[in-house]
């Protein structure tokens, strides 16, 4: 009966998750509710059938009183800074802590070559006032194996910046935060660097693919608005070429006709010369 009402009761366990230093008060609250019943039971002062109701009342009183004590940091280890995240265990009468640093999942970062990269060593929980930050790097691989990393910086700066990324910067970055000699958390980033040559080749390939599409237009997405043309259409190119050829022919024609009057002017003057000679 005691197991079902107290030891296996999630509400009792949640009420017992008090902050560090309040374990004594928590034990006093528990003793005040349980010990009188234990004494009555040992002395056989009451019928055994009354204890189920009385234990349930004691459980309700314990939950109400224990819930008023300061709570733990809001998580059950492993959840970060151990001394703040420790949870008092009512059964073992001690604080439970994972005693190992929290390893955050690897976050992906993709950049183009020569781009600037910034990585922040941030965590969603409170950190101690005085910390040490160590950045490590494992080239070319995506990993969380500690032995694959080499230290690159150490200090208090939680920002790691790469002014101009290159292929040699590709790999996994690890940020580990220490409080004294205790490791608190490890944050991971996997950086992928795309070469500019590949980017340029991809853009040229896209232009080529567009040029063989009807009208030099992108195929519209299903259910979406049509894309605006990125290249001149075939009809527009034909019209421009025709206009250039027509302009060329007109120029040649004008040049030709401008020279015709000079050639025909001599025969028109010939009779006048004959008349002059006859006279």
Of 99-108, 214-223, 234-243, the least confident? 214-223
Chain segment 63-83, per-residue pLDDT in tens: 999 888 887 655 444 444 545
pLDDT tops 70 at residue 14: yes
What is the pLDDT confidence band of residue 279, given thresholds at 50, 70 and 90? very low
| pLDDT computed for residue 185 by the predictor | 84
- 148 neighbors 138 (Cβ within 8 angstroms): yes
- 17 neighbors 87 (Cβ within 8 angstroms): yes
**Statement: the pTM of the whole predicted model exceeds 0.75:** no
What is the pLDDT confidence band of residue 15, given thresholds at 50, 70 and 90? confident
Provide the 8-state DSSP code for 278: H
Of 9-18, 125-134, 181-190, 268-277, the least confident? 268-277
| pLDDT computed for residue 171 by the predictor | 97
Chain segment 219-277, per-residue pLDDT in tens: 555 555 555 444 455 666 777 778 788 777 777 777 777 766 554 444 444 445 444 44
| pLDDT computed for residue 265 by the predictor | 46
| pLDDT computed for residue 73 by the predictor | 55
Among 215, 218, 217, 245, residue whose Cα is nearest residue 233: 215
- Indicate the burial class of 41 (C-beta count within 10 angstroms; 0-12, 13-18, 19 or more): middle
Distances (CA, A) of 41 to 8, 30, 36, 231: 21, 17, 9, 92
**Residue 109 or 69, more confident:** 109
Strand pairing category for 102-112 and 182-194: parallel
Query: Per CATH, which fold does 103-196 belong to?
Result: Immunoglobulin-like (2.60.40)
| pLDDT computed for residue 201 by the predictor | 60
User: What is the residue extent of each domain of the chain?
Assistant: 2-96, 103-196
Question: What value does the mean pLDDT of the chain take?
Answer: 76
pLDDT tops 70 at residue 32: yes
């Amino acid at each position: 009966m005691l197991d079902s009402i107290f030891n296996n009761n999630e509400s009792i366990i949640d009420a017992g998750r008090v902050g560090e230093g309040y374990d004594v008060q928590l034990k006093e609250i528990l003793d005040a509710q349980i010990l009188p019943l234990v004494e009555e039971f040992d002395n056989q002062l009451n019928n055994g059938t009354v204890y189920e109701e009385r234990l349930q009342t004691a459980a309700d009183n314990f939950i109400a009183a224990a819930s008023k004590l300061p709570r733990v940091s809001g998580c059950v280890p492993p959840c970060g800074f151990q001394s703040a995240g420790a949870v008092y265990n009512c059964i073992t009468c001690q604080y439970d802590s994972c005693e190992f640093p929290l390893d955050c999942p690897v976050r992906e970062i993709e950049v183009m070559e020569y781009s600037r990269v910034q990585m922040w060593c941030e965590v969603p929980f409170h950190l101690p006032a005085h910390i040490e930050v160590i950045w490590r790097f494992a080239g070319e691989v995506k990993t969380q194996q500690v032995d694959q990393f080499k230290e690159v910086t150490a200090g208090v700066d939680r920002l790691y910046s790469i002014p101009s990324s290159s292929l040699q910067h590709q790999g996994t970055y690890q940020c580990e935060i220490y409080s004294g000699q205790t490791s608190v958390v490890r944050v991971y980033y996997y950086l992928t660097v795309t070469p500019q040559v590949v980017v340029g080749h991809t853009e040229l390939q896209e232009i080529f693919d567009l040029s063989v599409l009807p009208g030099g237009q992108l195929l519209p997405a299903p259910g979406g608005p049509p894309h605006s043309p990125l290249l001149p259409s075939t009809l527009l190119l034909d019209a421009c070429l025709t206009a250039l050829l027509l302009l060329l022919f007109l120029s040649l024609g004008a040049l030709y006709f401008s020279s015709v009057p000079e050639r025909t002017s001599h025969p028109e003057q010939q009779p006048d010369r004959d008349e002059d000679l006859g006279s």
